[in-house]
Amino acid sequence: MSDIPEPALDCPYELTNEKTVFQGKWLITKQVDFKLRGTQNTGIWQSAHRPSRGNTLNADGVDIIATLKKDGKKYFILIKQYRIPIRRWILEFPAGLVDASDKSIEETGVRELKEETGYTVTRVIRYTAKGQFLNPGFSSDSSAFLLVEVDGNDPINQNPKQILDTDENIEVVLVECDKLLEYLDNVTKDGQVEVTSHVYSFALARLF
Amino acid sequence: MSDIPEPALDCPYELTNEKTVFQGKWLITKQVDFKLRGTQNTGIWQSAHRPSRGNTLNADGVDIIATLKKDGKKYFILIKQYRIPIRRWILEFPAGLVDASDKSIEETGVRELKEETGYTVTRVIRYTAKGQFLNPGFSSDSSAFLLVEVDGNDPINQNPKQILDTDENIEVVLVECDKLLEYLDNVTKDGQVEVTSHVYSFALARLF
């Protein structure tokens, strides 16, 4: 997914002199000269990319939107994770990168939910066949969505145990579905916790 | 907003040896060594940041969620923009970076909606006091949300004219509010157009 495809036929720019300006283990920085076709307007575009991990799916990662039903209540399963680029704890959908061996978005998402939250998926509702783009002016990084239900009264989900990488530090956060926006606004007030754009826009949608 | 704040008091990592590995006009790449406190588990974290533009607000940019009422129908105002990092046309919320002279999220968003779509805001519904994070494991880039209504029957909005930068190429796309998810799934099918994660999660929310 990190290889940049050929320009679309209707690309409005002439792109030349593309080069990798930083090659890291986890992040590649590229730049390219652009000229808007039919004009003399030119510039340089710099962007961040994930190195290829041998992933054969059309997404760098998968975000899981999971509802948990337990004792008559319904929750969204979120995670809170300390994010080094921001130096803050961030509320996010559970998510993970696609591995080289992953055969489907569904497989990746079910595994990542289990690892990050301990919960076992009861029912898959829907998933996207490819990634959506997290920040397309700045990066090619993409994440597909997997929507699932978790039965919190199923014995397998009574004592959910995370299976974290040795360098991960993730808290599971359950938020009642109809109070998500209110919850996010409350916990982010003092600046100790922040939230991703796609969790927040998901919450905002209830206003429409 | 691009300056990294001091680690929070409850940071679970020891962070050392931070350095800038690429300093571009539009993008800065950094890396830092981390060690999960209380363990011997270490690693390197690489991340992308926007250079400071003298912005004094708590967000790098603003995303505008705008509804347009016109002749009894209600639409979301989206834009379609060719994104060089991905080599594709992407459906996005109208959005823009905060300028050094901007006094508020509201001011930035109202201006950017006008520039990118030609529409003049009729009513501001709500805005976030700070940015949400677009891709927090990879980048510190943040964008606040501004929610507005546009009266499409107001004479000022009869012939909306974009005011684009000389290197921009943006199409305005109106989508009936109750058909957003269906529309996105349809237009992204053939891979010529893609969509941002936060537009898509906003659309997915109607399923809950």
Q: Per-residue confidence at A9, pLDDT binned at 50, 70, 90? A: low
Claim to verify: residue B36 and residue B138 sit in the same structural domain: no
d(C-alpha A88, C-alpha A82), whole Å? 6
Q: Does B63 touch chain A (CB under 8 A)?
A: yes
Q: How confident is the model at residue A107 (pLDDT cuts 50, 70, 90)?
A: very high
Q: How confident is the model at residue A190 (pLDDT cuts 50, 70, 90)?
A: confident
Is the same domain home to B43 and B84? no
The answer to whether the Cβ–Cβ distance between B134 and A138 falls below 8 Å is yes
Please report, in tens digits, the pLDDT of each residue of chain B (208 residues total). Answer: 545 555 556 899 999 999 999 999 999 999 999 999 989 999 999 999 999 888 889 999 999 999 999 999 999 999 999 999 999 999 999 999 999 999 999 999 999 999 999 999 999 999 999 999 999 999 999 999 999 999 999 999 999 999 998 888 899 999 999 999 999 999 999 888 999 999 999 999 999 9
Show Cβ contacts of residue A158 under 8 Å, excluding neighbours closer than 6 positions.
none
Instruction: Give the C-alpha distances (Å, rounded to integers) separating B70 from B10, B74, B111, B172.
Output: 50, 7, 21, 15
Among A42, A84, A142, whose Cβ lies nearest the Cβ of B45?
A84
Residue A96: predicted pLDDT: 96
**One domain for residues A179 and A95:** yes
Which pLDDT score, from 0 to 100, does residue B167 have? 82
- With cut-offs at 50, 70 and 90, classify the pLDDT of residue A33: very high
Cα dihedral B47→A132→B195→B189 (10° resolution) = 150
- Shared domain check, A96 and A67: yes
- A80 at interface of B, judged by CB pairs closer than 8 A: no
SS3 B9: coil
The first and second tokens of residue A113, run together, are 């939910």
Average pLDDT on A102-108 reads 96
Q: Are residues A153 and A117 in the same domain?
A: yes
Give contacts of A42 with chain B, Cβ < 8 Å: 167
B138 vs B49: CA distance, rounded Å: 9
CB contacts under 8 A, B 82-111 vs A, are: 82-90, 92
Cβ contact B83–A133 (<8 Å) = yes
Please check whether residue B124 lies inside any domain of the structure: yes
Residue B101 three-state SS: coil
Q: What integer is the mean pLDDT of A159-178?
A: 93
Mean of the pLDDT values across residues A73-90? 97
| pLDDT at site A191 | 84
- Say how far residue A107 (Cα) sits from the centre of its chain: 15
- Indicate if B83 and B29 belong to the same structural domain: no
| Residue B196: closest CA among B91, B72, B56 | B91
User: What pLDDT shows up at residue B9?
Assistant: 63
Kindly tell me if the per-residue pLDDT of A120 is higher than 90.
Answer: yes
3-state secondary structure of B111: helix
Domain-located, residue B54: no
Residue A87: pLDDT above 80? yes
User: What residues of chain A lie within 8 A of the CB of B17, using their CB?
Assistant: none
> How confident is the model over A27-43, as a mean pLDDT?
95
Work out the average pLDDT over A3-17: 77
Q: Which residues of B touch A141 (CB under 8 A)?
A: 135, 138
The answer, for A186 touching chain B at a CB cutoff of 8 Å, is no
Structural domain contains residue A6: no
B positions 43-62 inside 8 Å of A (CB): 43-50
Supply the DSSP symbol for B201: H
Q: Would you state the torsion angle of the CA atoms of residues B92, B94, B96, B102, taken in this order, to the nearest 10 degrees?
A: -150
Which token pair is B150?
């546009």
Backbone torsion region of residue A121, taken as left when φ is above 0, otherwise alpha when ψ lies between -120 and 50, otherwise beta: beta
Same domain, B186 and B112: yes
The domain that holds B102 is classified in CATH as 3.90.79.10
- With the C-alpha atoms ordered A181, A133, A37, B191, is the resulting torsion angle positive or negative? negative
Mean pLDDT of A31-55: 93
CB proximity under 8 Å: B 106-165 to A = 125-126, 128, 130, 132-143, 145, 147
Using a CB-CB distance cutoff of 8 angstroms, which residues of chain B are in contact with residue A48?
Answer: 27, 29, 48, 85, 138-139
- Whether B3 is covered by a domain: the verdict is no
| A29 and A130 together in one domain | no
Q: Does B25 touch chain A (CB under 8 A)?
A: yes
pLDDT of residue B192: 83
Neighbours of A168 (CB within 10 A): 16
Beta strands in B50-119 (DSSP E): 61-70, 73-83, 88-92, 95-97
Domain-located, residue A8: no
Q: What is the ipTM of this complex?
A: 0.95
Looking at the domain assignment, is residue A4 inside a domain?
Answer: no
Structural domain harbouring A189: 61-207
CA-CA distance, A147 to A166, in Å (whole number)? 27
Residue showing tokens 């997404």: A59
Nearest residue in B to A178, CA atom: B208
Are B194 and B188 in contact by the 8 Å Cβ rule? The answer is yes
- What integer is the mean pLDDT of A165-183? 94
Which pLDDT score is estimated for A122?
Answer: 98
pLDDT of residue B110: 98
Residues B68 and B121 in one domain: yes
CA B171 to chain centre: 17
Confidence of residue A66 (pLDDT cuts 50, 70, 90): very high
Is residue A6 very low, low, confident or very high in pLDDT (cuts 50, 70, 90)?
low
Residue A82 lies in a domain: yes
Number of domains chain A is built from? 2
Among candidates A184, A3, A190, A49, which has minimal Cα distance to B139?
A49
**In terms of domains, do A66 and A36 share one?**
no
| pLDDT score of B5 | 56
- Same domain, yes or no, for A193 and A97? yes
In a domain, B74, yes or no: yes
Single-letter residue type at A53: R
Taking CB atoms and an 8 Å limit, are B89 and A145 in contact across chains?
Answer: no
A92 and A21 fall within a common domain = no
Contact A134, A144 (CB under 8 A): no
Nearest CA in chain A to B196: A133
Q: Which residue has the higher pLDDT, A154 or A1?
A: A154
